[in-house]
Structure 1
């Protein structure tokens, strides 16, 4: 490691392995003649990154000057690095990773299929600011038909703090714990995405319209969501009790929220009846 924090050997090995895993078609290049080794050629990466082939070769050989932040960003784009890989690239080059512009709001097809396959479990997907991105059929019994709701209004935190102060919603200790942890998670996202306008607008709006939110926000708690037990007097399904699980999707910083009933419980039976009704 150099005095600048650059780990040359590690950087060289990382670039070589990332280059070897890519096929030309993945970066818009023709396959061309038969290749002796897998992956892209060094000159192809240099071309995609807009740098000289000699400079790139020296980086892969563990020599040459300290790469600038602009060079690191260009290589990350050329090698199709994931968010975690890009952060790793910057750190082994002795640089702080660039701030993320905003939370991912794209729904991976695999997550969409997973939601649809959970026919007996209500589940929905939210971004880091708790904006609902996708949901399955059973979730509509709890969050409504979001297809008929304007996109800007599909936010869990906004729904929560729009509940009137007189609502029994605020008398349940589990609900209050759930709300507190949600605000703590939102503050963590606020720190990760300081330039995201949607998060800033949500926080500004709630600070101005919800004294309860303002009090929680002023406590500066930062943390991840914890599972809580929810008891819901559902107008159609009757009294329900289930664990509300929040599952982090690391590659997109999204969360899948799943309502998990106790096996053999009346709540599980109610969920199953709805699923059978839909499937019949």
Structure 2
């Protein structure tokens, strides 16, 4: 029995039906639905394979093999990421898991396609959607350009709190801001831990962080609790330099899902730098337009 992202492998992957579902679903989604330009050489309806792969955070080769019913069976994390990229509703997502031979994960904390569509339309701002554990569920192209690939496979590597405390390369912000941001992460997680006391996913995350990070242990012992609803951050980008942004956080009714939008900070050159990043992203997509679908 193999475990993955809350799902259990219970049968054999129906590769042909899985591939057919992906192709048909991809053809139904317009680039504008996910915040992408139409392009000048688009010959088929819907998204290109490389666009779905980018949105799902997987390689184009891996996604192509899934659509061609080749290669290894998809992992639960890949099924979940592809379902999000294709804007599947809960029934469609569950169907995709069944085609992959897995029980679907619980429906708690599911991101509604309408929320993804809203985030995708904010094309001039970096936007991401997270759950209350800090796991990144969706990023629009501007967020990828500003912060890099946040969804790189695996629940821990997609968790911003885990990466902040265990991966020094993830701290692409001025060092003088680190203490404050660390404290915000921990107080946020404290609030989730209190609200969902005893639930396996939050308990496991906290236990793993306590074992992995002395900084986290020290902050956790302070018992500081607070839900972040707004913030101000500076990202150190390798191409455009320091980008200072104002963060606004919108919560779902049960506070399980968070939409985070990053606005250019007033009185800075952040707006010009975000515009430059958008141009860089458009140039990359234009170069990809010559790739076959």
Report the TM-score range of the alignment, normalised by the length of the smaller protein: 0.5 to 0.7
Answer whether contact 2:229 2:250 (CA < 8 A) is retained.
no
Counterparts of residues 54-65 of structure 1 (less than 5 Å): none
> How many angstroms does 1:271 deviate by?
1.5
1:120 maps to: 124
Partner Cα separation in structure 2 for residue 147 and residue 120 of structure 1: 20
2:193 maps to: 190
Partner Cα separation in structure 2 for residue 148 and residue 137 of structure 1: 15
The TM-score normalised by the length of structure 1 is 0.56
> How many angstroms does 1:129 deviate by?
0.9
Partner Cα separation in structure 2 for residue 172 and residue 156 of structure 1: 19
> How many angstroms does 1:204 deviate by?
0.5
Partner Cα separation in structure 1 for residue 107 and residue 185 of structure 2: 16
Q: Unpaired segments of 5 or more residues in structure 2?
A: 1-105, 287-293
> How many angstroms does 1:203 deviate by?
0.5
2:246 maps to: 243
Does the residue aligned with 2:138 lie in a helix, a strand or coil?
strand
Aligned length: 177
Describe the shift of the 1:203–1:142 C-alpha distance in structure 2 as closer, same or farther (beyond 3 A).
farther
> How many angstroms does 1:172 deviate by?
1.6
The TM-score normalised by the length of structure 2 is 0.54
Counterparts of residues 172-211 of structure 1 (less than 5 Å): 172-173=176-177, 175-211=178-214
The match for 2:142 among 138, 141, 147 is: 138
Partner Cα separation in structure 2 for residue 149 and residue 143 of structure 1: 16
> How many angstroms does 1:148 deviate by?
4.0
Answer whether contact 1:242 1:259 (CA < 8 A) is retained.
yes
2:225 maps to: 222
C-alpha distance after superposition, 1:154-191 (max 9, x if no partner): 101001101449x7858324x42232122111111111
Counterparts of residues 13-92 of structure 1 (less than 5 Å): none
Partner Cα separation in structure 2 for residue 276 and residue 248 of structure 1: 30
Does the residue aligned with 2:142 lie in a helix, a strand or coil?
coil
> What RMSD, in angstroms, separates the aligned Cα atoms of the two structures?
2.7
2:112 maps to: 108
Answer whether contact 1:103 1:128 (CA < 8 A) is retained.
no
> How many angstroms does 1:137 deviate by?
0.6
Partner Cα separation in structure 1 for residue 124 and residue 117 of structure 2: 14
Describe the shift of the 1:277–1:264 C-alpha distance in structure 2 as closer, same or farther (beyond 3 A).
farther
The match for 1:161 among 162, 165, 176 is: 165
Q: Unpaired segments of 5 or more residues in structure 1?
A: 1-101
